[in-house]
Amino acid sequence: MSRSRICIALLATLTLCLFSSTSADDVVVLTEDNFEKEVGQDRGALVEFYAPWCGHCKKLAPDYEKLGASFKKAKSVLIGKVDCDEHKSLCSKYGVSGYPTIQWFPKGSLEPKKYESSRTAEALAEFVNNEGEEALAQQCDASSRPRLFSQRLTMASNETHCLVGFLLIGSLSLDERR
């Protein structure tokens, strides 16, 4: 496993441990009225399309709330959910045929990428960090790489810059630290 993947995994795990207290409003409730105002704008969005009666959705709910809590203060990421019983047309528009369906909407786009990996808070956080990192990497050239790491930390960890920053900075080459 590469150093960057190990660092991302550590970041995701640490983030979830530090922000394990959640509340019901940590995940943004999306509707037909607010979906396009929240998603596809100036931040990436991970959206769960769910049905309240679905057993798999009920099982995912605590982990998804933890994910929402860990990214709540992040300005570059939205964690949201859509109740497909109440908003059938929205779910149909995005090709939802089973529950839960989790999709990533890159910054500035309403074209989703389907999430098809593990449904744990740690795996979801790693996915969001990876997607966010790719978007930031496209915006930053090699000379601004330290800024890239700073933005990635802000995206998921909010208040843990020092500890997590140490882990990520430790993975940079000597040339990148200067």
140 is catalytic: no
Distance CA 40, CA 29 (A): 15
- Enumerate residues 6+ apart whose C-beta is below 8 A from 104: 44, 45, 46, 47, 112, 113, 114, 115, 127, 128, 131
CATH number of the domain encompassing residue 171 = 3.40.30.10
CB distance 7 to 167 below 8 Å: yes
Cα 38 from chain centroid (whole Å) = 14
17 is catalytic: no
Check residue 136 and give its pLDDT: 56
Check residue 133 and give its pLDDT: 75
**What is the domain count for the chain?**
1
Which range of residues forms the domain containing residue 137?
3-177
Q: Pick the catalytic residue: 7, 17, 54, 140?
A: 54
Q: Pick the catalytic residue: 7, 57, 84, 91?
A: 57
What is the percentage of the chain residues whose pLDDT exceeds 90? Answer: 56
CB distance 58 to 7 below 8 Å: no
pLDDT in tens, 27-56: 999 999 999 999 999 999 999 999 999 999
pLDDT in tens, 85-132: 999 999 999 999 999 999 999 999 999 999 999 999 999 999 999 997
CB distance 122 to 13 below 8 Å: yes
φ/ψ of residue 116, rounded to 5:
-130, 35
Distance CA 138, CA 21 (A): 33
Put simply, whether the predicted model's pTM sits higher than 0.75 gets the answer: no
What is the percentage of the chain residues whose pLDDT exceeds 70? Answer: 61
Between the alpha carbon of residue 166 and those of residues 75, 102, 171, the distances in Å are 22, 32, 9
